Amino acid sequence: MHTQTLELLSGSPGIRQTLQVLRFGAPGAGPKVYIQSALHADEVPAILVAQHLAQLLAQAEADGRVLGEIVLVPFANPIGLGQYLFGQHHGRFDVRDGGNFNRGYAELATQLAASVRPLLTNVVAHNTQVIRSAMAQAVEALTATTPTQDLKNKLLALAIDADVVLDLHCDTDAVMHLYALTPQAAIAEQLGAALGARAVLLATESGDSPFDEACTRPWFDLQRLLPEFPIDLACFGATVELRGETDTSHILAEQDAQGLCTFLAQRGVLSGVADAVRGPQCAPTPLSGSEPITAPHAGVVVFHRNPGERVVAGDVIADVVDALTGTVTPLRCKSDGLLYARCGSRWAVPGKRLAKIAGTSLARTGKLLSP
């Protein structure tokens, strides 16, 4: 294991922040995998999984079982890790300007289409190489004026030429689930099976350019922008939600790290992983069919259903109890599906998303992720 420390742009005199990068295997020896934890810095189960995973990968490397290159960033957001405000940790948004740490990554496809068009041929492997190299150059040329922008650019530079990108997060109160690109459903299902995911949510664009899509969507977009050339979807990416924010357990983290190793073996970057292949626990469903249960007015939230439960259209998921009148408003779901996540607070403001259901009957449009 090789440890690298990258220094982030300083936002203030005397303040120095660094990013730790763990490297296993050798560049060019096989597929490249990039894994990062807790880009939303308060989603700490991912940090624990990274610690267990680092041990497994160090052992695999000592045994000569790393067939390619694995880059692991065990805490991807040192800026957010330090954001304590009035006794509370705030790791999702940058307190400097309110920006979400997992949105607004560089969208490269249009600029890449122009730069690679003269270099592409009718050979897929050649085109993959040309596009990868152009992507790396484009990310290298990105500039930053704030520590957060610098962090985003540095993370993207570490991941952009990988065959597999896994962004490890968690939800507030949830079962294991993940997000990936629709045309990569088969690999997403394989990852979901390895991790025991209860929901696999697919979209071609979920909105506002989250990290995994900044790595995967350029390939998909280039296929549409340059239809005259054969272009592979050469990067599989997923955002993995490692259950809820309080789900820190050595047993679960060890199990998740083993599940990731199973998937890495299936993708050809590890060998000698015990064959623990499990069948998928769910079929992938469209992210556009994920139903948010939304509070119509302020009040106290009383849940009737738990994460991991199957629900049918018309079921009462929660009540919202009005503090002025005592009126109880039951909130029913429109979809059959699996309740995969709930909010943490039991006080609702109008419009707050209280729960999410992986269904198939809705077809939402616009921005599909939580803000």
Pick between residue 52 and residue 177 the one whose CB is nearest to Zn ion.
177
The distance of closest approach from Cβ of residue 28 to Zn ion in the complex, given in angstroms and rounded to an integer, is 32
Q: How far is the CB of 40 from Zn ion (least distance, A)?
A: 3
Q: Phi-psi bin for 170: left (phi > 0), alpha (psi -120 to 50), beta?
A: beta
Report the residue number, 167 or 315, with the smaller CB distance to Zn ion: 167
Minimum distance from residue 92 beta carbon to Zn ion (Å): 7
Task: Name residues whose C-beta falls within 8 Å of residue 217's C-beta, 6 or more positions apart in sequence.
Answer: 107, 109, 181, 204, 205, 209
DSSP-based three-state secondary structure for 127: helix
Closer CB to Zn ion, 31 or 91, in the complex:
91
Which residues, 6+ apart, have CB-to-CB distance to 227 below 8 Å?
A: none
**Rounded Cα distance, 18 and 4, in Å:** 10
User: Cβ closer to Zn ion: 40 or 342?
Assistant: 40
Residues 174/239, Cβ–Cβ less than 8 Å: no
Helices (H) and strands (E) counted in the chain, each on its own, are 8, 20
Smallest gap from residue 216 Cβ to Zn ion (A): 17
CB of 256 to Zn ion, least distance (A): 15
β-sheet with 199-203: strand ranges across: 2-7, 18-25, 69-73, 32-37, 164-171, 236-244, 177-181, 199-203, 285-286
Give the separation between CA 341 and CA 206, rounded to whole angstroms. 18
Question: Taking a C-beta distance cutoff of 8 angstroms, is the pair 101, 148 a contact?
Answer: yes
Q: Which is nearer to Zn ion, 212 or 291 (CB)?
A: 212
CB 335, min distance to Zn ion, A: 23
Contacting residues toward Zn ion, per CB under 5 A: 40, 43, 169
**Which CB atom, from 40 or from 132, has the smaller least distance to Zn ion?**
40
